[in-house]
Amino acid sequence: MIHQFDSSLHNRFGFYYALLGSNLMLRQDGTSLREYLSLPDLPESSDIREVFPEVIGLEDDIKKVISGEENEFVLSGINRENQRTICFNLHIINYRYKGYKSIAVVRDITGDINSIRSIQQNRNEIILLHNKLVEKNMELDAANRELIESRDETRKLNLELEEKVRQRTSELKESYDLATRLFFQTVNSLTHALEIRDPYTVGHQHRVADLAAAIAGKMRLDEKITEGILIAGQLHDIGKIYVPSEFLTKPGILSEEEFSVIKTHPRMGFEIIKDIEFPWPIASIVLQHHELIDGSGYPYGLVNDEIRIEAKILCVADVMEAMSTNRPYRISPGTLNALNELVKFRAVKYDREVVDACIELFESGEFSWDKQ
């Protein structure tokens, strides 16, 4: 016979217990069960079914424990809502104590339940968060996919656009190259047409054009102006096409009348090319290429600033070339004499700066007829 509440039971259950008689009457041993169940007025002796209505219908199972037929009977997960919420398991144990054959012991599992609930709740929250994360990730994935698709689309459009620009640029370049080729072929044809009638001037216009462009370069004139001078140089005597070829090829001195016919060539040249839409004032340059700054030139006897700079340059280049080559009516005086002629009439007939640039070109060796 054990007269003291066993420490192993105490370790297993805690302090909450009552003695149980064979008539199913519970006898309070101390205040522990009253306190636990928050029932301070619970009588010292009461029917177990009143204290734990959950055992109603299970009396036979309890009696088997009291009689020693079974060692223990357990009813799990009983809840009470008094001053606080508690949850416990009720154990009926065959146990001799203070003249009784069994005791009813309560094992509090409120904390366990709360922990489980809390864990469950945390788990639910984690699952919820996880689901939200998955959802968010899916949304991000979809947005990413759209971005990638749109980026690919943009890249594709860009490539197409670049290809079109490349193609169009190449077409334009081809078309520009063709136009340029046709332009120079036309200029060459016009030059050639004159050279057929006046073989002594073969290459004259090209050489004048080269020297005039070199002078313009030396004077650091705008590139566009230099281009105009080059083209005008190649066409400057085109008006001679109207001069009878016997005048052009006549050996000896020309009569005044014959010379007056030759002097019409700047105006004739102007008439021939004035309707061509050159991007430079070619017709005007051709018209003025025999004007001299003292007004002694032709056809209009213009002076100084009345004459275009391009025409002043062409005039000097023309004199240099003409004096450097043989003509039907004379042997070439030579380049040196030509330069002397320029010096002699520098700032008289010929523009000072143009003459200076021309002399510098020859003296420095930057330009010579052989190089052309």
Given the rule CB under 5 A, which residues bind Fe ion? 237, 318
Q: How far is the CB of 343 from Fe ion (least distance, A)?
A: 21
Pick 240 or 346: Cβ nearer Fe ion: 240
- Rounded alpha-carbon distances, angstroms, from residue 147 to 141, 144, 151, 216: 10, 5, 6, 59
- How near is the Cβ of 222 to Fe ion at its closest, in Å? 24
**Left if phi > 0, otherwise alpha if psi is -120 to 50, otherwise beta: which for 221?**
beta
Task: Between 208 and 219, name the residue whose CB sits nearer to Fe ion.
Answer: 208
3-state secondary structure of 97: strand
Q: Which two tokens stand for residue 331?
A: 């042997």
215: number of Cβ within 10 Å? 28
- Helix or strand run (H / E) with residue 159: helix 110-197
Nearer to Fe ion, 86 or 273 (CB): 273
Burial class (CB in 10 A: 0-12, 13-18, 19+), 109: middle
Closest CA to 207 of 62, 44, 6, 370: 370
Minimum distance from residue 260 beta carbon to Fe ion (Å):
14
**Residue 210 vs 237, nearer CB to Fe ion:** 237
Name the one residue in this structure whose structure tokens are 């519970």: 26
Rounded to the nearest whole angstrom, what is the least distance from the CB of residue 206 to Fe ion in the complex?
A: 11
Q: Judged by CB, which is closer to Fe ion: 218, or 240? A: 240
CB of 208 to Fe ion, least distance (A): 6
Q: Which residues pair with 82 in a beta bridge?
A: none
Q: Which is nearer to Fe ion, 291 or 318 (CB)?
A: 318
Instruction: Please say whether the beta carbons of 212 and 314 come within 8 A.
Output: yes
Taking alpha carbons only, the member of 71, 76, 18 closest to residue 47 is 18
Q: How far is the CB of 299 from Fe ion (least distance, A)?
A: 11
Query: Cα–Cα distance between 87 and 107 in angstroms, integer?
Result: 9
